[in-house]
Amino acid sequence: FATLQQQDGVFTDRGKIYILFGPPTETRREFDPDANPKEIWRYDNVVKREFVFRDRNESGTYRLVEYYDL
């Protein structure tokens, strides 16, 4: 289900990562008054990687902005 304003979940950055790597081992959200909301997905399985998503326009749409190998 999607609306004109909202993209179907599988086509979002988080949806693509979820499809490729499955559910994250850990997720956390960080809110900083001087920056846009951030969500971090950590994978401690075979991937050993952390993905950082940011809601740049505070609309609830999180985009992948960086990732780190652990």
Between residues 58 and 23, the one the model is more confident about: 23
4 assigned to some structural domain: no
Terminal alpha carbon distance of the chain: 35
Between residues 3 and 25, the one the model is more confident about: 25
22 φψ region: left (φ > 0), alpha (ψ -120 to 50), beta (else): left
Number of domains in the chain: 1
pTM of the model: 0.83
Q: For position 51, what pLDDT does the model report? A: 98
18 assigned to some structural domain: yes
The token pair that represents 44 in the structure block: 């401690």
Statement: residue 6 has pLDDT above 70: no
Q: How far apart are CA 25 and CA 8, in angstroms?
A: 23
Statement: residue 40 has pLDDT above 90: yes
Statement: residue 5 has pLDDT above 60: no
